[in-house]
Amino acid sequence: MSTYRVYYKAYYRELSEFAHTDVQARNELSALRKFFKERRSELREADLLDGAELPDTASLDVNGEYRWWEGDWLQVYRGIEKVDAVSCPLCEGKGEVGGAVATEFRERLLSVAS
C-alpha cells in the first residue's frame, strides 16, 4: 500500500482555504474512491448530508472535476499525488519526513534498544 495525498480547496463566501487528506491505497483511483467514501461517511455522521452531492465512487476519474458541499462550504477537488511522507517519529507527528528517513530512524532506535 502507498500513501496518496488528495488535494481540495474549500470556499465560503470570500474565504477560501487549501486542504489535503492522506489516504492509504494501492493506486490513485483506489485512493480517490476511498477518500470520497470517507467524506460521505463523515458527512452522515455530522448530519451535513443536505446538499452534499458527493460524486458516485464507481464513476470517478483522477483527472475529473468534482465539487461538493459540506455545510456552507463548497469543496473543489484539485488533484492527487503519491507521497513518500510520514509523520515525523522525532516530533511525534507534528511534521513530516520522507518514508526512507523514518525507516532509517526506526532501525537505529531498534538497534540501540537491542
Beta bridge partners of 70: 73
Indicate the SS3 state at residue 93: coil
pLDDT digits (tens, 9 = 90+) for 18-60: 999 999 999 999 999 999 999 888 776 554 545 556 777 888 8
Longest dimension (CA), the chain: 57
pLDDT given for residue 107 in this prediction: 72
pLDDT given for residue 113 in this prediction: 65
What's the CA gap between 73 and 63, in Å, rounded?
22
DSSP H helices in 46-98 = none
- Mean pLDDT, rounded, for 8-17: 95
What's the CA gap between 109 and 29, in Å, rounded?
36
pLDDT given for residue 44 in this prediction: 65
pLDDT digits (tens, 9 = 90+) for 65-81: 999 888 888 999 999 99
